[in-house]
Amino acid sequence: MTDHPHQNRDDPGAEGLGLAGRLAKAFITSPLSPLLLVACLALGLAGLALTPRQEDPQISVPMVDIFFSYSGMSAEQVASLATDPLERLMSEIPGVEHVFSASERDGAMVTVQFEVGEEMGPSLVKLNDKIASNLDKIPPGVSQPLIRPKGVDDVPVVTLTLWSHEVDEGALRALGLDVMQRLKEVPNTAQSFVVGGRSDAIKVEVFPERLAGFGIGLDEIARTIRAANSERGVGTVEAGASSFTLYTGAFLTSARDIENLMVGVHQGQPTYIRDVALVTEGTDDATSMVSYYTGPAYGHDGHGAAADAAHGPLAPIGAPAVTIAVAKKAGSNGVSVADAVLAYVERLQGDLIPDNVTVEVTRNYGETANEKVNELIFKLFVVTGAVTVLIWLALGIRAASVVLIVIPVVILVTVFSAYLLGYTIDRVSLFALIFSIGILVDDAIVVVENIYRRWLEEGQCSESCNVDAVREVGNPTILATFTVIAALLPMGFVSGMMGPYMEPIPALGSVAMLFSLFAAFIFTPWLAQRIRPPMHLLEKAQAKEHRQNLALNRFFVRLLVPLLTKRVNGWAFAVGLLAVFVASLGLFYTTSVTVKMLPKDNKPEYNVTVNMPEGTPMPVTANVVARLAEELVALPEVVALQSYVGTASPFNFNGLVRHSYMRADPWQADIQVQLVPKHDRDRSSEDMAAATREILTPIARSLGARIEVVEMPPGPPVLQTMVAEIYGPDAATRRAVARDVEALFEQAETIVDVDAYLQAPYPSWRFVVDREKASRRGVSVEDINRQLDMVMGGFILGDVKNERAVEPRFIYLQMPLALRGQFGRLGQLPVPSASGAMIPLTELGHFEQFQIDDPVYHKDLRAVEYVTGDVAGRLGAPIYGIFEMEDLLDGYTTPDGVRVDTNYIGPPADSMASALEWTGEWTVTYETFRDMGLAFGAALILIYILVVWEFGNFTLPAIVMAPIPLTLIGIVPGHWLFGASFTATSMIGFIALAGIIVRNSILLVDFSMHAVRRGMDVQDAVINACQTRTRPILITAAALIAGSSVILSDPIFQGMAISLMFGGLVSTLLTLVVIPLGCVSFRKALLNSAGEDDMGGGGVAAPQDPKTALARARAERGAGGGLIGGLVAVLRGAVDLVVLMVDLIALGLRKLVSALAPRQERPAMATAAAAPVPPEPAPAPSPVKEPAPKPAAKPRAKTAAKPSAKAPPKKPAKKPAQKPAGRAADKRTAKPASKPAPGRRGIRLKGQDGGRND
């Protein structure tokens, strides 16, 4: 930002050009410039085509579920003997963040959650190695651990529901399996599965009376069937010239084959299986149920089977259904995979899929992702067009054309960078590009505006002037760009799942800013030179700018002079600003503006989970679900429902974290609700969820059920919005506290969908063996256990081989379902003794009832209980629910006699006393805002260091950064005005504004320093800087507002848009006041940085005349003192600003009308030689445009101002191409004669323009 004493600005050499000037000089005439431009466009288009598309960023959160069984052990025994040792081993693995476990009778599940960003492959290798190296520590009786990794790529992107009134559940499942098998041929498809239906099976149902009558035991039946269902190769035979393999045996192929097997001899007659059992060929027992319901909007959504007018058959009361879920491979394009799957299904309809089966697309993340991406790409074009129109109105169509070419190049190169960096095209990355447009366009605006300004001053569009104009703004532009990058980059280090979710914003925003800087120095000068305006347009623009500068001068003199010259006015302004700042922050305290993590998005679906009391049979649960579905299908926005009873619905990312795929108990159910597209309904999905909760909750309670309305979270998923983790000295105390906390949750007004991970007591039965009787009869406990295992259902003897089967067709040995619960009949089951005699089961023991153990939950090796709930209403954020709960917990005493200790940022240090930790969404909120606060602090430090490095002192950077906190004056009231919550995206906008505001401040201070170096007084210099930089600052602010306005309608990023719009507007206006006040208040720092003396100018500056322009301006305007005078000055300045903006808009509209009007023949312009101009005083040499007299080439100049006694008149200009007087010498070598006279220090007053009185 320094000028070189011997540098000629018309012919700049390489030494003084700096990086910006050297780049501009190298490419302004180079044939490589257009090639480089085309290459950037080609790379960007390639990145747009190659980068995968999806709705949300991919977050790598490896989770591994480990299952094992420990038969006969209670939940406490399983936890202490098996779960605890496994948890300790898992916690030793590097990269593990949390270890959760749930131990229950006969087994447990341990979930290992790795840190965010860890890769699944290496994480799984570490886990397997750890288990394999400690197999010797597995207690006796514990099964081999089953390891199931789960990651984000396991979430299905497409689900297809097949339903029919004419096809039963078994045929539907078989058809679904066939379709799934065919869909695996689609490239880049991964895990697929079918939910619902009943598998084909052959059931061998025995009757205890027949077994006893024929003297046949279950072991004989099982042995007979297994022995008959065998085939194998027994050897190789060579005969003559041939060699072949000999096979023996045969597989069972049907129920007839099985029932005709001879199992024994009774009274000399053969006994067949058909004599003692009923062999049926059909489906297995019904343990789950999937149904499809059509809603009022069915057939109006434009999807699924809506091809015909009737949209297929209706199913308002539910029809049997199965759902096919298809996931995609990691790194593949979800849009293309989804489209390929649906296209393949279209080909299968009428061929593999019969006409009496309807196929509905119940999930298509590819479509939603493509819709969101296309919508945001369209908004990119809208923002680009809006910014172009702004620049057209401000600088003209040619300057707008330059920016219109540069912006898409920068955006496309950023997209290609996203491809190289491994990001996807999703709504977060596209929002990063949209919000970046308002920032990155500033580089091009500053450069183009300065080039045009210099061309106006020089009177010619020379390449050397172009290069020097780039040089002139190069250093401050570089510094300002890096301050924006310094503000953005620290946000990339946010921890937790929110970090990678928002990471594209700082990463791609920084890339866009960096490339926009080089584009401004390479492409902008080249394009500006190629489409430079003719001289008559420059002269017209010169007249327009002259009028604007006079208006700006009058405005800033009227606004700033009373504040700069009267200490009381300045203090009044500062106190008023502080009061407004405190009042803005007070909106948080009064909850007029709420704080939350992220608002919920408007999705086309949501789920309703139904939980009946433990022990409820599946048919009862199904009836309750049907009653709830009956209410849901009456909602006008509902397209369809899918109910899943006794089985889990296809999970999403939220269900992956919550382990909803484990919901397979008969008392558990899910209802998936499909809505019409958001553009076709008035209510948002959040409103629909609230209405659903209000309708279904009383019905569910009357039926003994609990429901939860689960929406897709806008950000990283958690266990639940509000989670209270209960710690305590023992299980009984923890569970008692959990029940009390659950009751308090029910009392809270803001908390809904309350649940606790507590198991309601429900009975079960066991057969108690009389060991003494069994021993005397020659029967072991293992024999009894095996006999009961074989008749209670699900005992597999093998499978029937089918050439085209996709899944095995099992042979089950069991008692009929109706007899299993009749212990009298079950007691007649014959048990073979060692002597071969058949002994009834009742003679070996008895049945007794007992209560199932409560599950034992652990988190990070500590026993814990969970109480969960959601928050709803205006204060729908966990922090307000926590505040309400803290009031309800006040005075509560736990069963162990202590006041419950609540913790916000970690578990209690001691588990020997009852304590509570708030987790769930609160943890994500706290960690996100904590890390963003640290990132903001780091950004401020980096910006401060950069500015200190540039200006060389410690005071000016503080002045430059002073407007940063003042952005809250616009941000917080802006959220209140829109009724929006202050969210994480709002914080991102606040942080990004720091770099943007510092950018404007740097340019103001830099121009002020240059003016001081030329001998101008500090007060005059800051007013001159404001006058010169107002137009590009306002253009940049308008571009930022235009770029942010298009994302205002998005629920998630609305906070960012409000922060950028209102914070940018208010801070831009305040910057033009606060920076001048700071520079004048700390003039010594500015003078020291500029290398001047304390008199306000250069070392040879004349003493300040008491009749300066400022003094006369005060006298003319009657500037008052005190608080009233300061307020009057501020109000007067605000009125002048409105008038100025109206004037600028009118000028722009006139330019638009003149551009659209038919062009008329213009008279020939008079040459400079034909219009000699009388001498006029030399203006103060300035690197910025001042309202000084125009170059001599302009024929409109009629009268020259009277020359000052201290400044000799300059010579008349010879021709327009010649640089004006005052430009001949460098700023540092300007002679005293060229300085302004006292009273004329750059401030243009009435009548001070060559005799004109504007």
Coil/strand/helix, residue 34: helix
- CB-based contacts of 139: which residues, under 8 Å, 6+ apart? 70, 81, 82
pLDDT digits (tens, 9 = 90+) for 1112-1129: 444 434 333 433 344 444
Residue 887: HSE in the Cβ half-sphere, 13 Å Cα cutoff: 9
Indicate the Cα dihedral angle 278, 284, 286, 290, nearest 10°.
-150
Helices (H), 633-683: 653-658
For residue 1113, the model assigns a pLDDT of 40
Query: What's the mean pLDDT in 935-949?
Result: 86
Tell me, what DSSP letter sits at residue 1061? I
- Confirm if 852 and 762 have CB atoms less than 8 A apart: yes
Max Cα-Cα span within the chain: 144
More confident residue, 67 or 307: 67
More confident residue, 1149 or 428: 428
For residue 1154, the model assigns a pLDDT of 53
- Confirm if 952 and 1091 have CB atoms less than 8 A apart: no
**Considering only CA atoms, which of 1123, 1215, 1211 is closest in space to residue 1165?**
1215
What is d(CA 383, CA 437) in angstroms, rounded to the nearest whole number? 7
For residue 1145, the model assigns a pLDDT of 52
For residue 747, the model assigns a pLDDT of 93
What is d(CA 472, CA 1012) in angstroms, rounded to the nearest whole number? 16
Q: Using the predicted structure, report yes or no on whether residue 890 has a pLDDT greater than 50.
A: yes
More confident residue, 391 or 1108: 391
Q: Could you tell me if residue 315 is left (phi over 0), alpha (psi between -120 and 50 degrees) or otherwise beta?
A: beta
Beta bridge partners of 294: 640
Of 255-264, 1047-1056, 1237-1246, the range with the highest mean pLDDT is 255-264
pLDDT digits (tens, 9 = 90+) for 852-863: 889 999 999 999
- Confirm if 540 and 1190 have CB atoms less than 8 A apart: no
- Confirm if 192 and 180 have CB atoms less than 8 A apart: yes
Q: Using the predicted structure, report yes or no on whether residue 545 has a pLDDT greater than 80.
A: no
What is d(CA 764, CA 691) in angstroms, rounded to the nearest whole number? 38
For residue 1147, the model assigns a pLDDT of 52
More confident residue, 430 or 603: 603
- List Cα–Cα distances, 1029 to 453, 572, 682, in angstroms: 11, 26, 45
| Listed range (458-472, 562-576, 1103-1117) with the worst mean pLDDT | 1103-1117
Provide the percentage of residues in the chain whose pLDDT is more than 90: 37
More confident residue, 1111 or 1046: 1046
- List Cα–Cα distances, 825 to 423, 793, 795, in angstroms: 64, 15, 19
What is d(CA 431, CA 992) in angstroms, rounded to the nearest whole number? 13
- CB-based contacts of 799: which residues, under 8 Å, 6+ apart? 808, 809, 810, 811
* Angle at which helices 1018-1045 and 984-1013 cross, to 10°: 150
Q: Where does residue 232 rank: exposed (0-12), middle (13-18), buried (19+ CB within 10 A)?
A: exposed
**Considering only CA atoms, which of 1187, 1221, 1103 is closest in space to residue 542?**
1187
Indicate the Cα dihedral angle 933, 939, 941, 945, nearest 10°.
180
Query: What's the mean pLDDT in 656-681?
Result: 92
Helices (H), 1046-1121: 1054-1058, 1064-1081, 1083-1090, 1109-1117
pLDDT digits (tens, 9 = 90+) for 137-151: 999 999 999 999 988
- List Cα–Cα distances, 490 to 429, 933, 939, 944, in angstroms: 17, 10, 6, 14
Residue ranges per structural domain of the chain: 62-150, 605-712
Coil/strand/helix, residue 557: helix
For residue 745, the model assigns a pLDDT of 94
Q: What is the CB neighbour count within 10 angstroms for residue 355?
A: 10
Is residue 513 very low, low, confident or very high in pLDDT (cuts 50, 70, 90)? confident
Is residue 1225 very low, low, confident or very high in pLDDT (cuts 50, 70, 90)? very low
- Confirm if 92 and 528 have CB atoms less than 8 A apart: no
Query: What's the mean pLDDT in 868-897?
Result: 90
Length of the chain: 1254
| Listed range (169-183, 692-706, 1211-1225) with the worst mean pLDDT | 1211-1225
What is d(CA 716, CA 623) in angstroms, rounded to the nearest whole number? 34
Query: What's the mean pLDDT in 1181-1197?
Result: 40
Q: Using the predicted structure, report yes or no on whether residue 708 has a pLDDT greater than 90.
A: yes
- Confirm if 1103 and 1095 have CB atoms less than 8 A apart: yes
Query: What's the mean pLDDT in 1180-1200?
Result: 40
Going by CATH, does the domain composed of 62-150 fall within 3.40.50.920? no
The string of DSSP letters for 147-161 reads EEEE-GGGS-SEEEE
- List Cα–Cα distances, 380 to 385, 386, 394, 411, 433, in angstroms: 9, 10, 21, 9, 8
Of 13-17, 212-216, 444-448, the range with the highest mean pLDDT is 212-216
Query: What's the mean pLDDT in 1000-1006?
Result: 83
Please give the distance of CA 845 from its chain centroid, rounded to a whole number. 61
Of 88-97, 297-306, 408-417, the range with the highest mean pLDDT is 88-97
Q: Where does residue 1190 rank: exposed (0-12), middle (13-18), buried (19+ CB within 10 A)?
A: buried
Tokens linked to 136: 């010797």
pLDDT digits (tens, 9 = 90+) for 1130-1170: 444 444 544 455 455 555 555 544 544 444 444 433 333 33
Is residue 103 very low, low, confident or very high in pLDDT (cuts 50, 70, 90)? very high
Tokens linked to 306: 């809506």
- Confirm if 132 and 61 have CB atoms less than 8 A apart: no
Query: What's the mean pLDDT in 17-26?
Result: 85
Query: What's the mean pLDDT in 773-779?
Result: 91
Q: Using the predicted structure, report yes or no on whether residue 943 has a pLDDT greater than 70.
A: yes
Tell me, what DSSP letter sits at residue 899? B
Q: Using the predicted structure, report yes or no on whether residue 1216 has a pLDDT greater than 50.
A: no
pLDDT digits (tens, 9 = 90+) for 324-381: 999 999 888 888 999 999 999 999 988 899 999 999 999 998 888 888 788 878 887 8
Q: Using the predicted structure, report yes or no on whether residue 1206 has a pLDDT greater than 60.
A: no
Mean pLDDT of the chain: 81
Q: Using the predicted structure, report yes or no on whether residue 44 has a pLDDT greater than 50.
A: yes
pLDDT digits (tens, 9 = 90+) for 783-838: 999 999 999 988 999 999 877 778 889 999 999 988 888 888 899 999 999 888 89
CATH entry, 605-712, from 1.20.120.1630, 1.20.1250.20, 3.10.20.30, 3.30.70.1430: 3.30.70.1430
**Considering only CA atoms, which of 625, 791, 682 is closest in space to residue 291?**
625
| Listed range (452-466, 956-970, 1090-1104) with the worst mean pLDDT | 1090-1104
Decide if 62-150 and 605-712 have a common fold: yes
For residue 972, the model assigns a pLDDT of 94
**Cα 431–383–485 angle (5° rounding)?**
50
Query: What's the mean pLDDT in 268-284?
Result: 92
For residue 5, the model assigns a pLDDT of 39
Tell me, what DSSP letter sits at residue 679? G
- CB-based contacts of 125: which residues, under 8 Å, 6+ apart? none
For residue 312, the model assigns a pLDDT of 53
pLDDT digits (tens, 9 = 90+) for 898-918: 888 899 988 898 878 899 999
For residue 117, the model assigns a pLDDT of 82
For the chain, the distance separating the N- and C-terminal CA atoms, rounded to the nearest angstrom, is 34
- Determine if the pTM surpasses 0.85: no
901-903/915-920 β-pairing: parallel
- List Cα–Cα distances, 785 to 101, 209, 780, 1067, in angstroms: 29, 19, 9, 78
pLDDT digits (tens, 9 = 90+) for 711-728: 988 778 888 999 999 999
Tell me, what DSSP letter sits at residue 531? T
